[in-house]
């Protein structure tokens, strides 16, 4: 594999330096160490132009440059890297939620790294090394499974282990109970303000006396847990088509397959008022820092040597417009 990669890099360099690249229907792309998925892009560009590359090298007496390149091995590497490219594209998005996709992608990639009988010996070794790196650097937490739970298509968490499911459901019940308690407390405080009476003089032992408010607090906690459990159960057992059909929108006019908009779903999920608030709050959390990195890059491009006197406020406004203007 290493020999094939090195040879393809040499071929791409030769084509770019000799201007032969312009004669190809699909031009070759060079690998850039600092750019994500650039090695995959290079390999795919070679496979698309393989027949033309071979003809041009034969015509120029450089056919020996392909001696270490096996198309089968190259295709195997491409198939191995492709899911990682898809994953990075998903988590590099700016204007859509991504946190709910972390857990599903984690399990998909974990399954992808399992060896099978069709893998070559080199691919088996590569997957073994990749599994070691994956287990060391890629971790999921309960919040990722809670976010996945908010996707009505994945709410049963079939991809997760029983322990991960139970932890996610328990955490969701706790968050829901807190949200219900907060809502009930706010309503209680509002009603107290509306029906407020003049304060009566407290006795000397008021802090030691029993109070009905203590019982009310316990009742609120008990009631919150029951409401949270009932609302979550209602969400889990509901049929997908009965939840909110308006969340199925056509991404293109005339497209047969509908596209699911999870934000639109939770904006219209009035049947689950407390889950709705939690969904909108959790789904606002980005799964990666790619957006921040792009903001840094665009800000750096804005502060050119000719614009060093920009104030912080003006720079912030220009960056905001750049990121949100459509």
From the first residue on, what is the mean pLDDT of each consecutive set of 10 residues in the chain (326 residues)? Answer: 90 92 92 88 94 92 91 93 94 89 95 92 93 93 94 91 94 91 72 56 57 50 76 86 55 48 86 90 89 81 82 86 76
Element (H, E) at 149: helix 142-149
Query: What pLDDT is attached to residue 253?
Result: 38
The answer to whether the pTM exceeds 0.95 is no
Distance (Å, whole) CA 320 – CA 299: 10
Please provide residue 253's backbone torsions phi and psi, each rounded to the nearest 5 degrees: -65, 130
Distance (Å, whole) CA 171 – CA 184: 20
Half-sphere exposure of 299 (CA within 13 A, CB side): 15
Query: What pLDDT is attached to residue 82?
Result: 95
């Amino acid at each position: 594999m290493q020999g094939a990669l090195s040879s393809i890099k040499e071929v791409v360099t030769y084509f770019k330096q000799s201007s032969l690249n312009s004669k190809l229907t699909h031009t070759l792309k060079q690998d850039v160490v600092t750019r994500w998925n650039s090695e995959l892009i290079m390999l795919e560009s070679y496979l698309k132009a393989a027949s033309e590359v071979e003809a041009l090298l034969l015509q120029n007496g450089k056919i020996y440059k392909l001696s270490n390149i096996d198309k089968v091995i190259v295709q195997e590497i491409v198939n191995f890297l492709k899911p990682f490219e898809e994953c990075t594209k998903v988590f590099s998005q700016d204007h859509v939620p991504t946190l709910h996709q972390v857990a599903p992608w984690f399990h998909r990639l974990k399954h992808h790294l399992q060896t099978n009988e069709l893998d070559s010996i080199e691919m088996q070794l590569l997957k073994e090394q990749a599994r070691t790196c994956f287990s060391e650097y890629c971790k999921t937490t309960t919040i990722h499974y809670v976010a996945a739970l908010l996707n009505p298509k994945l709410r049963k968490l079939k991809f997760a282990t029983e322990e991960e499911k139970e932890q996610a459901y328990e955490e969701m019940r706790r968050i829901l109970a807190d949200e219900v308690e907060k809502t009930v407390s706010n309503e209680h405080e509002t009603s107290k303000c509306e029906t407020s009476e003049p304060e009566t003089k407290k006795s000397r032992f008021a802090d030691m006396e029993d109070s009905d408010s203590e019982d009310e607090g316990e009742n609120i906690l008990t009631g919150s847990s029951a409401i949270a459990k009932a609302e979550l159960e209602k969400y889990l057992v509901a049929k997908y088509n009965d939840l909110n059909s308006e969340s199925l929108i056509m991404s293109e006019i005339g497209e047969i397959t509908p596209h699911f908009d999870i934000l639109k779903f939770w904006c219209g999920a009035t049947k689950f008022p407390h889950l709705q608030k939690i969904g909108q709050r959790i789904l606002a959390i980005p799964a990666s820092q790619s957006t921040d990195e792009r903001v840094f890059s665009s800000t750096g491009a804005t502060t050119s040597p000719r614009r060093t006197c920009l104030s912080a406020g003006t720079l912030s406004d220009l960056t905001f417009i750049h990121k949100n203007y459509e």
